[in-house]
A and B are shown apart, each in its own frame.
Chain A
Amino acid sequence: MELIFEKSTEGRKGFAFGASDVPVRAQVPAPYARKEDAPLPQVSELDVVRHYTRLSQKNFSIDTHFYPLGSCTMKYNPKFTESLSRLSGFTDLHPLLAQLSGGERWTQGALEVLYELEQWMCAMTGFKHFTMQPLAGAHGELTGIMLMAAYHKHKNNARKKYVIIPDSAHGTNPASAAIAGYETISIPSNKEGGMDLEALKAAVNEETAGLMMTVPSTYGVFEPNITEIAKIIHGVDGIMYYDGANLNAVLGRCRPGDLGFDVMHINTHKTFTTPHGGGGPGAGPVGVNEKLAKFLPISRVIKRGDGTFALDYNYTDTIGYIASFYGNFGLLVRAYAYILMLGKEGLLETANHAVLNANYIMKKLAPYYKLCFDRICMHESVFSASKQAERGVHAIDIAKFLIDEQIHPPTVYFPISVPEAIMIEPTETESKQTMDYYIGKMVEADKLSQENPAAFKEFPKTMPISRPDEVKAARDVKTSYFLVTSSDAS
Chain B
Amino acid sequence: MEIEESFLYTKEHEWVSIEDNIATMGITDYAQGALGDVTYVELPEEETEVDQFEQFVSVESVKAASDIYAPISGKIVEVNRKLEENPSLVNKDCYGKGWIAKIEVRDMDESTNLMSADEYRSFLETLEH
Task: Spell out A's residues near B (CB within 8 Å).
Answer: 413, 470-471, 473-475
Contact = CB atoms under 8 A, between A and B. Distances in A.
A474 B88 CA distance: 12
Contacts of A470: 62
Contacts of B63: 413
B28 interface: no
Contacts of A474: 39-40, 60-62
16 contacts: A413-B63, A470-B62, A471-B37, A471-B39, A471-B61, A471-B62, A473-B62, A474-B39, A474-B40, A474-B60, A474-B61, A474-B62, A475-B39, A475-B40, A475-B87, A475-B88
A431 to B, nearest CB: 34
Contacts of B40: 474-475
Give me the 4 closest cross-chain CB pairs, A-B, nearest first. A474-B39, A471-B37, A470-B62, A475-B39
A474 B38 CA distance: 9
Nearest to B88: A475
Given A471-B37, A471-B61, A474-B60, 13 more contacts: A413-B63, A470-B62, A471-B39, A471-B62, A473-B62, A474-B39, A474-B40, A474-B61, A474-B62, A475-B39, A475-B40, A475-B87, A475-B88
A464 to B, nearest CB: 21
Main secondary structure, interface of A, reads helix
A451 B63 CA distance: 29
A471 B87 CA distance: 11
Nearest to B40: A474
A473 to B, nearest CB: 8
A182 to B, nearest CB: 19
Nearest to B39: A474
Contacts of B88: 475
A274 B52 CA distance: 50
A475 B61 CA distance: 9
Interface string B20-41: 0000000000000000010110
B71 to A, nearest CB: 25
B88 to A, nearest CB: 7
A38 B1 CA distance: 54
A413 B63 CA distance: 9
A474 B41 CA distance: 12
A235 B28 CA distance: 45
A413 B88 CA distance: 24
A292 B62 CA distance: 40
Contacts of B37: 471
Contacts of B60: 474
The residue in A413, A470, A474 that gathers the most chain B C-beta atoms within 10 A of its C-beta is A474
A471 B86 CA distance: 12
A471 B40 CA distance: 10
Nearest to B63: A413
A413 B40 CA distance: 21
A90 B60 CA distance: 45
Contacts of A471: 37, 39, 61-62
Nearest to A476: B39
A474 B61 CA distance: 8
Nearest to A471: B37
A461 to B, nearest CB: 22
Interface in B42-101: 60-63, 87-88
A470 B37 CA distance: 10
Nearest to A474: B39
A397 B37 CA distance: 18
Contacts of B62: 470-471, 473-474
A473 B61 CA distance: 11
A409 to B, nearest CB: 15
A471 B39 CA distance: 6
